[in-house]
Structure 1
Amino acid sequence: MSKAKTRRSANAPSNQLRIIGGQWRGRKLSFPSVDGLRPTTDRVRETVFNWLSADIHGAQCLDLFAGSGALGLEALSRGASLVDLVDNAQSATRQLRDNLQLLDANHGHVSQANAADWLQQNAGNRYDVIFLDPPFRQDLAQRCIQLIDQQAMLKPDGWLYLEMGKDEALPELPPQWLLHREKTAGQVCYRLYKLPRQV
């Protein structure tokens, strides 16, 4: 599934997103017209990456339901050492590859796959930051959360970002994931969880 957002920045052209920080700050990138695809808004991204500012440089990241790549590309721009971008829409993944080539970003890797299937096939991967932003109202987050937890894909001291519709019920989360930040913007509720290092 491609990810989607409820609104775009007022000044952003249709089917374009803007990198808001880091080495590619101000760069505008295209994304395809895919049903339900909605890039994370500038305001939300700025908040999220402010939350992650001390940890994103050098981080290994996973962007599930990547869609336009707004979160994963922003992470690369801000110094992430690796980002895996996963989406099941062919047009979205093709554009993601084109955008990575345009940016000369060889530390971003794109996979066209169902998110849950990809998690099962890559169970040995470990990440410092996981962005989980499934299409709203399709009950896709729960299975991904279960797989991430069961396969220990989030490193100790790692972060999981979860974005959902404001009116959606929160999935069941592992008790060891601690809510660090939570905000609402329009019809979107976004949360950042931390997996503490065991003492």
Structure 2
Amino acid sequence: MRQTLRTEVLVVGGGTGGVAAALTAARRGAQTVLVSETPWLGGMLTSAGVAAPDGNELMAWQTGLWGEFLRAIAQRQPGGLDHAWVSFFTFEPKVAADLFAEWVKTTPKLTWIVGEVPQAVLRQGDRVLGVEFTTLTIHAQITIDATELGDLLVLGEIPHRWGWEWQAETQEPSAPP
């Protein structure tokens, strides 16, 4: 029998953006469900191994969730964070993935579901009502597509732009010709 859940906020995708969205929604008081295909959270900062983010220009930006992340990772990372010429922030991807998992597991109002793959987007007109996954359905007031490539947008046949469209389509000078 298919399980059905209801929540205020549904975040689909366990990359850095999905984790940040889920943590922020739950910390602000919304009942939140984060669904990820794998138990390894953090996307580009962890599973893709980009553990020297954005170079030295981010030294001044240590506020909010990013600042909290840097302070927590500095305490866990053997030898601190400054081990590269390209960034003041370098860390082992597993250390960051473990931190994200700990935060998600211990945040009140946040439920983390691992191993589910989106199968369909539930819509009524232009309103997204939730997502059908492999073994469960989740109805939500707000659904956030935090998948790497906008999987929910495609599944739901929701008009969107990637930002990678050709110059002929967008007339944007910086778009690829």
Fold shared by both chains (TM-score > 0.5): no
More helix by share: 2
Relative contact order higher in (CA < 8 Å, ≥ 6 apart) = 2
